[in-house]
Amino acid sequence: MSILVNKHTRLIVQGITGRDGSFHASKMKAYGTNVVGGVSPGKGGQQVDGIPVFNTVEDAVNATGADTSIIFVPAPLAADAILEASEAGIKLVVAISEGVPTLDMVRITPFLKKNETKLIGSNCPGLISPDESLVGILPGNIFLKGNIGLMSRSGTLTYEMVHQLTTSGLGQSTCVGIGGDPVAGLYYQELLQMFQDDPETAAIVLIGEIGGDAEERAAAYIKAHITKPVVAFIAGQTAPPGKRMGHAGAIISSGSGTAEEKIIAFEKVGVPVARTPGELPELLKKLMQNVLTVN
């Protein structure tokens, strides 16, 4: 089983006639994702790699029954594209666009909640349920179907960790890149609960990074609500204070948000933390074996 997307997902691509939209629409289709349409205002009636293009999301939903959308539009227009999808009845929106203004995300968040639209991103690589559906820009060839759920604030580090898991024979149920923007959609707590409720996810990998307190809050949530094995990794362990490292949220300030603080928070609730990517598979195998022994 998987969370959020599967072989039944009906995907539309907003911005499909652009360079990135057309390229990744073809990649997702080739992976096996059910890409049922695309949206590009003024270009309705065209096709991209055999995928029909519509002028509006509403037109696309009415014609195809789409339930999921991925956003490949310029940052100044991305929030309105997300909102258009939500108002058209799309239940999951994956926003790849980078540099979306924070105030734009603040503006649309109440409407997404009202419409019960789930959002991944913005500024994220998307998600994948191996052998079922790829909705994003992730390299599908490195993923292996299995029972490990993974969530990550870092895109490229997601790929490294998945490679470590796959080469160790640890397949994945669903992998989600949540992005690192200050205002984003689904985050650790919501995804932790989804993996907890998924009967075919046996263990969870959480990849965090410096800045903010999302990992500390995730640790508290794990202690209170999660019974499945969880292993973590924190990026930025050698980052200097006061210097932005990658994502807008990846900055240490006023003595908070350090890697060590996050590691301590996880270890206090019994979540082992890998100090290097290469350590993660063995930590995970050991933890899962301990759970099986206890049970």
Q: In order of start, what are the domains of the chain with their CATH numbers?
A: 11-121 (3.40.50.720), 139-294 (3.40.50.261)
Question: Does the pLDDT value for residue 253 go beyond 50?
Answer: no
pLDDT tens figures, 210-242: 888 999 999 999 999 999 999 999 987 655 555
178 touches 184 (CB < 8 A): yes
CA distances (Å), origin 168, targets 164, 207, 228, 278: 6, 18, 20, 10
- CA end-to-end distance (rounded Å), the chain: 22
Query: What's the maximum distance between 2 C-alpha atoms anywhere in the chain?
Result: 61
Strand pairing category for 68-71 and 11-14: parallel
Instruction: Say what the pTM is.
Output: 0.92
> How would residue 246 be classed by pLDDT, with cut points 50, 70 and 90?
low
Please tell me the distance from the alpha carbon of residue 217 to that of residue 267, in angstroms, as a whole number. Answer: 13
Is 24 among the residues known to form the active site?
no
Catalytic residue, candidates 8, 24, 163, 247: 247
Q: What is the DSSP letter of 41?
A: T
CA distances (Å), origin 277, targets 77, 206, 207, 284, 295: 36, 12, 10, 12, 28
- In this prediction, residue 180 carries a pLDDT of 83
pLDDT tens figures, 74-103: 999 999 999 999 999 999 999 999 999 999
